[in-house]
Structures are given as structure tokens and as C-alpha cells.
Chain A
Amino acid sequence: MKKVVALFISLVFVFSLFLMGCSSDKNASKDNGKSSAKKVTITIGSWRTEDKAGYAKIINEFEAKNPGIHVEFKPSQNTEYDTILNTQLKGGSGPDIIQLRPYAPGMALAKAGYLEPLDGIKGLDQFPKLMLAAATGEDGKVYGVPLSVNSAQIFYNKDIFDKYKIKEPKTYDELIDIAKKLKKNGVTPFAFGTKDAWLLTMSHAIIGPAFYGSDFPEKVKSGQAKFTDPEFVESLKAMKDLTPYFPKNYTGLGEVDDRTLFATGQAAMYVEGSFDIEPVRQLNPDIKLGFFNMPSAKGGEPTITTWVDSSYGINAKSAHKEEAKKFIEFLTTKEFGKLFADTFNRISAVPGVGTKDPLVTALAEASEKYATPYFILTDFNDGNPTTKTVLTNDLQAMYLGKMTPEEVAKDVQKSADTWFKPAQ
């Protein structure tokens, strides 16, 4: 009797082990599709954990028009999105619809054959070529529908500025004076931590043009200027010189801490992208947000830094390509553009879509007049490690006192020299 029981139990274990091995998340959505008769489930991979609630609304609209399709928005932490996505793609799975990083990193996925070319998608031709460039592969095919245009600038808390009778700065020296005045009155001037290294590169793209000017990116691309030129080194030094106006223990503060400091009114200025307006408002709906274009330090025009944020592409190995294509086509419609702009208070890439929010409209207007590109991201995100990665890590090292601005500039140029050929 004991032997029979023992045999039975061991067979149950073996059987369940095999069951465990056979079922996996990969098949879960397929099973859903089969079991609930007509409904097909497609998943969207993204790094915007902040947008989960907003996408629920947008997806409801889509599902109302497309009853056979159920869409799930599954974002991952932004700093880990690339590694998580790559692990999935290499394992042969991954979401049906993939949010793509703009330019080189996103198109590397296309090169590796993980993305489905989007020829024939309705509505793709309405996007300007310059915008589609962010999602065009080396083979000239378009792999993603552009989502939005980002702008990056210095936001400020209007209540704090009013309290100390501060006006928007027109020159860089005025900006420093504002910082000094705030510090004297016990207010942290900048909500700026250095723990999330990627923020440093974006902040440099905002503050840097005040020193290297808005024609520097073109000069570097054509080979007339180098990263070791004095104006670029000056821009790095200026970043380091701002540390007296950073919060206490800034080396240990990341993006979430910065956002908290700014939203709760403990810091007056916030050097960030337009994609962070909604997350700040979610923390503090009553905050009065203002922004100003980056004033020049050399008497030049003010600047606001812009770039195509991301696009959505289709997984070449998706089991539901038809349904994914329907969703992608939805992303090219003015209807989606309006939903996107209104839900997230961002500039939609879909042409002709306005926004209700006065702040975002003001950003769009400033972008038309004073735009300068985030050129490290749009044109120097190549090489291994990429020049952007080198700048990112070196900026953090600079803030930790391990590198001087001159050493950073030399290192960035060395990285560019390994792969960059100026456009002749």
C-alpha cells in the first residue's frame, strides 16, 4: 500500500513539473484568444509607467470601435526598459506593439529583424519626413508611428517666483542671480539630483546651448567643430558650477526625488522634459507651472530643446499582426492625436492636432521659434558604448568629482572618433 501511495505521489510531482515547464506567459495570451471565442489580446510594451491610467482611457476608445480586440498596456521601469525588452525579444517573445526609442537604438531593433516594416499603413504619409526619420531604418523603411514631440526646458513654480518677485531670466547671468536670491531665502533653486545619469545628458542638452549656441550641432555633424572645442567644454563647466544651487545630498537623488521636491514646492526650478508635466501635476494638482526658454550666456537667441520622443512599432514575431496593425493605424488618426494630447498634456506627433492646455500650447509655440535639437540623442547615439552613453556616465563622474569638464570633453570626442564620419 505504502509503495503505491509513494509511486502515485512521485508521479504527481513529475507530472506537475512537466506542466509547469510547458505553460508560460508566452502562451497565455494565445490561450486567452482561443478560450474567449472571438477576443484577441495584444500587449503594448513601453517605458511610461507614469501613463498607465491615461492609456486605459485611450484603449477604451479603441476597444469600443474594435470589439474583437483587447489591448493591454504593460510598461516597465524606464531605466530598465531596454534590457527587459531585449531579453524578451532574444527569447522569441516580447509585446505585440513595442514602444521604440528614437533614432539609433530603436532602429537597431529593426536591423536585427525584430520589427515589422510598416509599408502600407494608412496615415503614415501625413507625418513630415523629418519626424519619420526617428523611426526609419537603414533600409529606408519606416518601422514606427511617431508618438510625440518632446521639448525640454526649465520649468518653475509660479507661486515661488511671485513670492520673491522674480521675473523670467533673459540672460544666463540673470538665471544665476535668481538662483542666488532663492538660496538666500532658504528655497532650493534647482530640483536637480545626479543619481539618474540619463537626466544629466538631457539637462546638458537644455543648458548647454546657452554656451555652445544653436548652430553647434550642425557644425559638429559637418565636421567643422569638435566636442573638445572651448564652447562645449564651457557648457560642461557651467553644469558643474551650478552645484551650489542643487538640493542637499544631490548625488543620492534620482528623478522621482527631483519631481517630489519640485511638486511639493521645496524647490523652485525643474530642468525636465515636457513629458513630466502630467506626473508633476498628479503629485500636486494645484501647482502653477511656468517655463522659460534657456537664456543665452553669449547674447544669442534663447533656446528650447526638442526631439521626436518615441514611436510605436510591431513585433515581427507577434502572433496577432493584423490586430496590431489595426491599433497602429489608430495611432495615425487625429482622434488618437487629440486623445493623447488631452490625456497626457503633451504635443502629439499627428499633424494638425492642437491641445487644450495653455502651457503645452506655449511650449509648442516656443518650439517653433527657438528649437535646438537634442543632438547627442538624435545624431550621436552610435558606437559601442554609444557616445551618448559615454557622455552620460562621464557627466555623472564629473558631478562625483572623478572627472574634470576637460576630461569629459576629451572622452566624448574619443568615443565619437571611433565611429563618426562627418557628412561631407
Chain B
Amino acid sequence: MNSTTNMNTKSIKRKGGWKRYLIHLFPLPALAVYLLFIVYPLFSAFVYSLFDWDGLTRGAFIGIKNFIDLFTLEPFNHMFWNAFGHNWIYFVVEMVVQNGLAFLLAYIIYSKIKGTGFFKAAIFMPRLLSVIVVGFLWKLILNPNFGVLNKFLNLIGLEQWAKPWLGDTHTALISIILINCWFGIGFAMLIFLAGLQSIPSEVLEAARLEGAKGLKLISKIILPMMKQSITIITVFTFTQAFEAFELVYAMQGSEGGPAYSTDTLAVYFYRLAFGSANESEIGLGSALAVVLFIIIAGLSALFLRLMRRNDVEA
């Protein structure tokens, strides 16, 4: 067997080995698509951000002036930090509410209660809807005078809670984030469930024999063994939180209203780059896009590195 294989490789090598290089042709189409739709626009954004734009026409090369303007001129600077803060709130609330609840649900389903198939499907169902549909439907539900939520609250005597959810600057952002959690909880739950099911049962048996139960079992055995799932979900939630656009746009429009209380970096970018004709600033918008890229890519890479360093097993 060995000798035949050796003979074959030797003969291929001797023939000039051109057949080996055929394999390099196969990724080319995928590479072409990747270059065209991901690398080229990214590169264009970098280039655009270095030029001065008069409305919609490109002007002179101005180096990093757009970046400086983004952080020194008002209202652009204020809008950036306002949106940036909202993205962080998005991330923290999603981690606690969406992922926390998702883990709980995954654990409950994992403990083999009756009807797991049904629960898995039911919890995952919102994820199947289009985000625009979700935004629109919840906008109707949250309508302060005609919507189902407030009508229900009035019915059960909680009138003081029937607020203008999307009109009040204190409740608008949280409402949108919670809707996003409702939307995404199914996906996180499935990832956690897969993580739970990948823990070898012998380890759990051994732990149980040693007397570990409930919270101790979860914190000392299960969570550390689910490190991979947790890492995936965290990075995923992070990128989602910093790219948050569709739900805000569907419910509050490109102004991130009211009074910019629901503004996120992606919505701010869209408004900056494509606002009404005499207000669009492509130079600043491209600079913002570059900054956004650096934030997301940089922090994600950093986080992955940290998680890898803390890895218990190979």
C-alpha cells in the first residue's frame, strides 16, 4: 500500500506536478466574490474618508481631516459619543437579558422537560421573522393610544404604566433593545443548547457523584465547559450590538429619535452619509464607517485573544 502511494506521488512530482496546482483554481470564484463585495467596498470607504466632499461631489484630498472633524466639530462629535454610548447599552442589556435568559431556557430544556421539541420551535419562532416586520409589528403594539400593550395595561388597572414607550426618551432605547432580545433569544438558546449537549455525560456523572448540585454544578462544571459557546455568543452579540441598525431604523427612522435617544453608530452613519441632499457628508460618513470597522474588528479580536489565553483545555 505504502509503496504504491509513494510511487504515485513520485510519478506526479516527476510529471511536473501541474495537476497539483489545479486545486488552487477552485477557491478563485469565492475569492472573486469576497474581493468584490467585501474588500473593495471596505477599501473604497477608506479612500473616500480621505477626501473632502461638497455634498455629493468629491473634492480635494485632505488626509485625516475628516476624522479630526468627526471628533471636533459639533454636532458631529456629540452625536458620535451619544450613539457610541447607546451601542454599549445595547451590548450590556443584550448580554444580560437575551443571553442570560437564553442560557436559562437552554438549561431547562436540556434537563429534559416534556415537550422540548415544541419549546425549541416556539422560542426560536421570532427569529424567523424579518427584522423590518418585527419592528413594524412592535411599533403597532407599543402605540400609546391605539396599541395592544397600553390597552392591556389600562384594562388591568396599571394606567400609570401605559406610557408613550417609543416617544419618551427614557423608555425608547430600552424598548427597542428588549424587542431585539425577544427577537434573538432563540438563536442564543440553540447555541447554548448545543454547547450543553456537547458536555460529556461522564464528567457530569462524576461531578454529581462528588455531590455537586444545582448552582455549584452550573458554575464549576457546566459553564467552564461551555466556554466555546459562550465565546461565540459574546462575540456575536457584540458585533450585533455595534452594528444595530434595522430595528432602530424600522421603528424610529434614520434620525434615531426622539431627540437622538435611540441613535446608534450605524444609524448615525446612514444619516451622515445619505441624509437629505444638502446635508449628506460622505467624507465624514466614510470616516465614521472606518472608525466603526476599527472598533468592531479591534474589540472582537481583542476579546477572542483574551478568551483563548484563558482556555482550560487544548
Cα distance A402–B258 in the bound complex, in angstroms: 11
> Quick check: which of B2-10, B141-149, B299-307 contacts chain A, the rest being far away?
B141-149
From residue A355, how far is it (CB to closest CB) to chain B in Å?
Answer: 30
The stretch among B117-125, B193-201, B249-257 that forms the contact with chain A is: B249-257
The number of inter-chain residue pairs (CB within 8 angstroms) is 123
Nearest Cβ in chain A — how far from B248, in angstroms? Answer: 13
B214 at the interface (CB under 8 A from A): no
Q: Which residues of A contact B33 (CB under 8 A)?
A: 17, 21
The B interface, classified by DSSP as helix, strand, loop or mixed, is loop
User: Which A179-237 residues have C-beta < 8 A from chain B?
Assistant: 193-195, 197
- Please report the total number of A residues contacting B with Cβ < 8 Å: 48
Evaluate contact between B56 and A195: CB separation under 8 angstroms: no
CB closest chain-A residue, reference B280: A86
**Does chain A have a CB within 8 A of B82?**
no
Chain B residues positioned under 8 Å from A344 (CB to CB) = none
Q: For the complex formed, measure the closest distance between the CB of B250 and the CB atoms of chain A, giving whole angstroms.
A: 10
The interface residues of chain B lying within 8 Å CB-to-CB of A14 are 29
- Chain B, 242-266, contact with A by CB distance < 8 Å: what is the 0/1 string? 0000000000011101111000000
Q: Mark A99-128, 1 if CB is under 8 A from B, else 0.
A: 001001110110111100000000000000
Among the listed A17, A108, A248, A400, which residue makes an inter-chain contact with B277, where contact means beta carbons less than 8 Å apart? A108
A–B complex contacts, Cβ < 8 Å, 10 sampled = A86-B274, A90-B282, A101-B277, A193-B167, A195-B166, A197-B257, A247-B145, A252-B142, A396-B259, A400-B168
Binds B, one of A298-306, A361-369, A385-393: A385-393
Complex contact B253–A79 (CB within 8 A): yes
CA A165 to CA B165, docked complex, whole Å? 37
Docked pose: A14 CA to B259 CA in angstroms: 47
Known: A105-B278, A396-B258. A111 touches B164 (CB 8 A): no
Q: With a CB–CB cut-off of 8 A, which chain A residues contact B164?
A: 195, 249-253
List the A side residues contacting B281 at CB < 8 Å: 384
One of A17, A79, A393 near B259 (C-beta < 8 A): A393
Q: Which residues of A contact B166 (CB under 8 A)?
A: 195, 252
Are A195 and B167 in contact, CB atoms less than 8 angstroms apart? yes
List the 8 closest pairs (A to B, CB-CB), nearest first: A252-B164, A252-B167, A249-B144, A82-B276, A112-B56, A108-B278, A251-B167, A108-B277
A contact residues around B276 at 8 Å (CB): 82-83, 86, 101, 105, 108
**Distance of B120 from chain A, by nearest CB (Å):** 30
**B126 proximity list for chain A (CB < 8 A):** none
The answer, yes or no, to whether A175 is at the interface (CB within 8 Å) is no
With both chains docked as a complex, state the minimum distance between the C-beta of B132 and any C-beta of chain A, in angstroms: 11
Establish whether residues A249 and B145, one from each chain, have CB atoms under 8 Å apart when the complex forms: yes
Task: List 10 additional A-B contacts (Cβ < 8 Å) besides A86-B56, A253-B167.
Answer: A80-B253, A83-B276, A85-B277, A86-B280, A109-B56, A109-B277, A112-B277, A248-B144, A252-B142, A384-B278
- Are A80 and B254 touching (Cβ within 8 A)? yes
* Residues in A neighbouring B311, C-beta threshold 8 A: none
Chain B interface residues toward A at CB < 8 A: 29, 33, 36, 55-57, 75, 142-146, 150, 162-169, 253-255, 257-260, 270-271, 274-282
Judging by beta carbons under 8 Å apart, are A257 and B279 in contact? Answer: no
Taking the complex as formed, is A289 at the interface, i.e. its CB lies under 8 A from any CB of chain B? Answer: no
Do A400 and B274 form a contact, CB below 8 Å, given A197-B255, A260-B146?
Answer: no
Q: Say yes or no: is A96 at the interface (Cβ < 8 Å to chain B).
A: no
- Of all chain A residues, the one with the shortest Cβ separation from B167 is A252
Q: Are B167 and A104 in contact (CB under 8 A)?
A: no
**Which chain B residue has the least Cβ–Cβ distance from A109?**
B277
Q: Give the residue name and chain of the A residue nearest to B163 (CB).
A: A249
- In the complex formed, the residue of B with least CB distance to A21 is B33
- The reply on A280 being an interface residue by CB < 8 A is no
A114 and B56 within 8 A (CB): yes
Q: Give the distance to chain B from A363, nearest Cβ to Cβ, in Å.
A: 27
Known contacts A14-B29, A17-B33, A112-B56, A194 near B275 by CB under 8 Å: no
Given A197-B255, A252-B143, the answer on whether A83 and B29 have CB atoms closer than 8 Å is no
Alpha-carbon gap, A104 to B150, bound state (A):
42
Report if A87 contacts B (CB, 8 A).
Answer: yes
- Do residues B258 and A112 form an inter-chain contact, with CB atoms below 8 A? no
- Report the minimal beta-carbon distance from B221 to chain A, rounded to whole angstroms: 42
Q: Are A252 and B144 in contact (CB under 8 A)?
A: yes
- Residues of A within 8 Å of B36, CB to CB, are 21
A51 to chain B, nearest CB (A): 20
Cβ–Cβ contact B145 & A257, under 8 A: yes
Contact at A402–B259, with CB atoms within 8 Å? yes
B144 contact set on A, CB distance < 8 A: 248-249, 252-253
A259 CB, min distance to chain B CBs, angstroms: 12
Q: Does A353 contact B (CB under 8 A)?
A: no
Chain A, range 112-152, C-beta contacts under 8 Å to B: 112-114
Q: Which residues of B contact A248 (CB under 8 A)?
A: 144-145
Q: Say whether A381 faces chain B, with CB atoms less than 8 Å apart.
A: yes
Chain B residues with CB under 8 Å of A21's CB are 33, 36
